[in-house]
Structure 1
Amino acid sequence: MTPPFYSRNAARFRTLLSASAAALLALSGAGIGTATVQASEEHEVEISIKNHMFEPEALKLPVGKPIKITVKNLDPTPEEFESDDLGFEKIIPGNTTAIVRLKPLKPGTYMFFGEFNMDTALGHIVAE
């Protein structure tokens, strides 16, 4: 015969496990839904590096949305896509493509440059 103490605690343990599993399932489902919504709100833009210059050299981007910048380096040499204003730097080998993601921007103008060719690889972002 099982002691009454064991039966009560076993029942409480099963209830706690069921509640924990339900909470975990709910949280994981919420996370998946959030990731889907955020990805669909991401603003995507492309920029190229050719002859050590950015094309286009000016990007007009929306305020308040995450940004995905696809950078195509069409030159055979590497370039470092960098912005002190936005706090990023990314080396992009020659003839390759890289992605830079930015948090939502506030209104303003943000400078970027190619560190390996600073005389020619210059550009800016206007967020409005």
Structure 2
Amino acid sequence: MEPESTIDDIIKSVQKFRILSIGRFGVGKSSLVSCVFGITGARVSHLKPGESDIEQEFISQDNPFFVLHDSKGFEPGEITNFDIVREFIEQRSQQGLPLKDRIHGLWLCTKTPAVGGRVFEIGDEKLLEFAYKI
């Protein structure tokens, strides 16, 4: 007799794997969403921060098991979007929330730094520290 697969149990309870895309403006979050998920609804802007709605779910027709939320890019000195992302993570991490509605992963998009540059921006570090604590 073979033991039951725990992966099958997890997939049944999760139903969909929910990912939040985060990072600075201009690093290619929406382009990545469009390319990987084949979704044209992710607005790509090369001149100003995109108008992403963090509550909007992007689901790939090729693999409906994944659900992606695309956040608006962070800008230096701007905290409003940082707070929106932090609140979204808090809401989607609550113990009482059904497992299928929680955030299961963060997709941090960054630029490759120049020699001697910071690997992560301070806002990225703070957000990752916050998410780790939850």
Query: Smaller-chain TM-score range?
Result: 0.3 to 0.5
Higher share in strand: 1
TM-score normalised over the length of structure 1 = 0.34
Larger RCO, structure (CA 8 Å, separation 6 or more): 2
TM-score normalised over the length of structure 2 = 0.33
